[in-house]
Chain A
Amino acid sequence: MPVIEVADLVKEFSRPTRQEGRFAGLRTLLTREQTVKRAVDGVNFTVQQGEMVGYLGPNGAGKSTTIKMLTGILVPTSGTVTVAGATPWRDRSRNARRIGVVFGQRSQLWWDLPLRDSLWLISRLYDVPEARFRERQRQFSEVLGLGPFLDTPVRQLSLGQRMRGDLAAAMLYDPDILYLDEPTVGLDVIAKERIRTFVGELNRASGTTVVLTTHDLDDVEELCGRIILIDHGKVAYDGAVDELKARYAPHRELVVQTDRLESVEGAEVVRREDGKVWLRFDPVRTPPAELVAAVLERHRVTDLSIVEPELESVIHRIYADRG
């Protein structure tokens, strides 16, 4: 059952056209000419209950504008968004109860109050029964390790602690859908891992639908089965991560540590460095086992490995092709 349906979504921003020449500033102020920028240009997709979707795109592609329309923050220029049966910006209060939102750059917590107070306030705003609130708080304290800083004012928390607090706040009232906008930005490796584990577990245990935007593709590889790529306001790709790799980066690379290797049949030498040779091959035409056998037959090899393409380079390639 789809929980999010997006159809022909368009968002335009208009500004007074910047005037040139004499009195440019004043004329810009008075002009009636408008420059229209289409940030989102006819986006369509649906998300099923319990899916984890990575929503990716370079800066300025229309990624956060789309998320802001999904959460009800922005009103679209045209098109429709339906989230759990309601239109987010029209039915704001009802929508708010069904979604949890975490902005990596902007805390939802009360800056000057202890984290504990923020959680309590949110439980009241969302009418969470007292017993359920206590249970949730205990759960989160355990999984997210909130215990040591529950009584610290939010402004004194580290970024990692604050993000964990924000996640707990967003999930306190059991929303069906969780939007994460750059949840791991600026965090160290351990903090990132902790957040990914929490989100993954949440999805497995309670079937929470997760929509994730991020610049960290490790987030996506670890969490999302599906990605939606957006570029210039349009959907450039929508499908499984594996399929994307297969389509845009069908090659694997065999890295061999060897004395001297000029060429091998069925593979192409793409790089040499420090006595290592990178051989690119298409696993459909040249089965890896055969290639390895062929190399081992003719050369003294001290080490070898097969490298899968990284999502990051795949996405780079797609944008490079389109741009």
Chain B
Amino acid sequence: MRGARVYLLLAGAAFRAEFQYRGNLFINIIGGLFYQGVGLAFIWAVLDRFGQVGGWGLAEIAFLYGIRLTAHGLWLLPGHQLIHVDEVVIEGDYDRYLVRPVPPLVQLLTRRVRLSSLGDLAGGVVLLSIASASAPVDWSPGAVCFLLLAVVGGALVEGSLQLAASALVFRMKRVSPIKFAIDMIFSDFGNYPLKIFGPVAGFGLTFVFPLAFVAYLPATVLMERGEELAVPEWLAWGAPAIGVVLMYAAYRFWERQSRHYESSGH
């Protein structure tokens, strides 16, 4: 409870600080929307030409894309500052977080807010709302619940990978290339039905790099296409739980690795 209160307190401060530069606000949000819009336009162009990708039409892919993008925005809003973990650790700014009665990770995540993540989230929500209406899903209350859980789980899966990669900073000093690579995999592979990449990549993107749990598995079972999956359906229904487990493991890993923090100068 105290944790949540402290988080809101610090996040509020970061928002107030950001509003000192009000001009940035709209530019950032629009920038975020635009960036993701380009990705969607690309898929639309592909589908317009080929009609279907792996048996999925525009409505199905837009639904998958909507889940992925909303999960991405949902993670980015609180998690964006991890992008600066290199500089914070190398320059020794992390020192300050270690002498306050608040978990250092919370302080790192609330050091600033990047409002462009609001653009990602807004874009995701709008797309997901529209796509949900046209996607072949039987919207029972249970299905709606599962969709919400899946989006949160997807945010946790992406966040856990970024957090685990960030935790390497304490030993490796420079991890942004790794994190950039993770981000690339998410945006390059995350928006398509994974089966089009073949069984090997499908296996890898499920069990080695758990991308499938973000959007592909939940979207597939919601659209009752479970039979085309290479994994049992119950695993797809369990995607939100996988997110929770991964995030817990990533946080433990972060805590352990942070003991290797060396500060700057001696």
Contact = CB atoms under 8 A, between A and B. Distances in A.
B100 A96 contact: yes
B146 interface: no
Interface string B86-116: 0000001101101111100000000000000
Contacts, number: 68
A184 to B, nearest CB: 18
Contacts of B98: 71-73, 92
A256 interface: no
Interface in A1-49: 13, 39
A60 B93 contact: no
B116 to A, nearest CB: 18
Contacts of A103: 95-96
A73 B261 contact: yes
A112 B20 CA distance: 7
Contacts of A75: 259-261
A165 interface: no
Contact of B9 (A89, A112, A124): A124
Nearest to A94: B101
A60 B13 contact: no
Given A97-B101, A101-B99, A74 B262 contact: yes
Given A112-B17, A121-B10, A106 B92 contact: yes
A85 B165 CA distance: 35
Contacts of B93: 106
Most buried by A among B13, B95, B96, B266: B266
A248 interface: no
Contact of B263 (A74, A97, A113, A153): A74
Contacts of A106: 92-93, 95-96
Interface string A77-98: 0000000000001001110110
Given A73-B95, A106-B93, A64 B100 contact: no
Contacts of B260: 75
A237 interface: no
Nearest to A39: B266
A117 interface: yes
B266 A111 contact: no
A125 B101 contact: yes
A149 B97 CA distance: 25
B95 A60 contact: no
Interface residues of B, number: 24
A68 B261 CA distance: 11
A71 B97 CA distance: 11
Most buried by B among A73, A101, A110: A73
Interface in A253-308: none
B99 A93 contact: no
Interface residues of A, number: 33
21 contacts: A60-B266, A64-B266, A73-B98, A74-B262, A75-B261, A92-B98, A94-B101, A96-B99, A96-B101, A99-B99, A106-B95, A108-B96, A113-B16, A113-B17, A117-B13, A121-B9, A121-B10, A121-B13, A124-B9, A125-B6, A125-B100
Interface of A: 13, 39, 60, 62, 64-65, 68, 71-75, 89, 92-94, 96-97, 99, 101, 103, 106, 108, 110-113, 117, 121, 124-126, 153
B265 interface: yes
A117 B13 CA distance: 8
B100 to A, nearest CB: 5
A192 to B, nearest CB: 23
Most buried by B among A13, A71, A93, A125: A125
B113 to A, nearest CB: 11
Interface string B7-39: 001100100111010000000000000000000
Interface string B239-261: 00000000000000000000111
A113 B92 CA distance: 22
9 closest A-B pairs by beta carbon, nearest first, are A112-B17, A96-B101, A93-B101, A73-B98, A101-B99, A39-B266, A65-B266, A112-B20, A75-B259
Contact of B102 (A73, A113, A125): A125
A122 to B, nearest CB: 8
Contacts of A60: 266
A77 to B, nearest CB: 11
A49 to B, nearest CB: 20
Contacts of A62: 266
A193 B246 CA distance: 54
